[in-house]
Amino acid sequence: MSDVGSRAFVLDRFGPPEVMRLGERPVPTPGPGEILVGAEVCGVNFADTLIRRGEYLRDQQLSMAPGSEVVGRVVDVGDGVGIGAGTRVAAWVEAGGAYADHVIVPEHRVYPVPEELPAGAIAAVFLQGTTADYALHRFGHVRAGEVVLVHAAAGGVGGLAVQLGKIAGARVVATASTPAKLSVARENGADVLIDGGAHDTLADRLLDACDGRGCDVIIDGVGGPLFEPSLRALAFGGRYVIVGAASQRPSALDARRLLVRGQTIAGFILARITEQDPAEPSRALQRLCELIGSSRLRPRYEVLALEQAAEAHRRIEARELTGKLVLAAAYADGGV
């Protein structure tokens, strides 16, 4: 490989978006069992902002920089790798540092993806879409005709959860924080729109939307003040699925209320799913790509240049985002 020509963001210190620095480095060489991926796009997630601030893990080290997902092509492989150069893939960079033109990824974290789909659409459903899919089906066990409540329904996970809920035949109630975001939730297919503010009346408004019986499945990526009123609006036998904590505030739970109502509360992270089921997330990603290809699933995403990573973080932290932000990298061909 060439000695120069690859750009990558590094993190020298924790702090505001400006602490991320884009530098040039030699193109890395994959070792045994590793793959070098040339990135078309790098996905941006809320967790990346926590990594940048040093708040993602206890005692987080600066060696962990933002960025955990890319869509691109296999450029080079190490010994013992079964994927050929040129294969289009989605790559999960668990160690971070994926805001780059080239990334090194272990083979078991690289998943072939279709040639015909835009890279941005694939990135939009890679980690966020699989999260929404698991929330609805693996943990929510959603059935046709049930009522699904989705919080933050204009966001990356929430917007896809609304669409996937409708594909599953559910009636979807959506909350969001602004009229503009509620409009996006409507475009995603939501049947009922509810302002997510005014937490003291939220339970009553949710119950009214469900004719008093409550929601069968709740997908919550916000937590904090939304949790308790949402739980009060959970139906008998309902499933409450926690997919994030964007509020960064604790939630209170009196577990006794679960007993007589036969309710369950579950939370998960993708890494634990893949540890338990090695076929994931590839299987879910393939299913989501098929839905995109048939136009049944329409992920919302916006493309910025790799150099605009700080701007992407500012927009996420300002809660301005509806859908997914991706950064176009060196292997982007205009079809992002």
Statement: residue 1 has pLDDT above 60: no
pLDDT value, residue 13: 94
111 torsion bin: left (phi>0), alpha (psi -120 to 50), beta (else): beta
In the chain, what are the helix, strand and coil shares in percent, each to the nearest 5? 35, 25, 40
Report the mean per-residue pLDDT for the chain: 94
pLDDT at 63: 81
pLDDT digits (tens, 9 = 90+) for 71-105: 999 999 999 999 999 999 999 999 899 999 999 99
**C-alpha–C-alpha distance, residues 248 and 238, integer Å:** 24
Express each pLDDT in 274-321 by its tens digit.
999 999 999 999 999 999 999 999 999 999 999 999 999 999 999 888
Q: Residue 334's pLDDT is what?
A: 66
Work out the pLDDT band at 59, boundaries 50, 70, 90.
confident
Q: What 3-state class would DSSP assign to 333?
A: coil
Amino acid letter at 68? S
Portion of the chain with pLDDT greater than 70, in percent: 99
Q: Residue 11 forms beta bridges with which residues?
A: 20
DSSP code, position 269? -
Residue 263 · residue 240 · CB < 8 Å: yes
Q: How far apart are CA 92 and CA 279, in angstroms?
A: 14
d(CA 20, CA 121): 25
For the chain, domains (ranges, CATH) are: 6-112+300-328 (3.90.180.10), 128-271 (3.90.180.10)
How far from each other are the two terminal CA atoms of the chain, in whole angstroms? 25
Beta strand residue intervals within the chain, DSSP E: 6-11, 20-25, 34-44, 69-77, 88-92, 102-106, 110-112, 147-150, 171-176, 192-195, 215-220, 234-242, 264-267, 301-305, 324-328
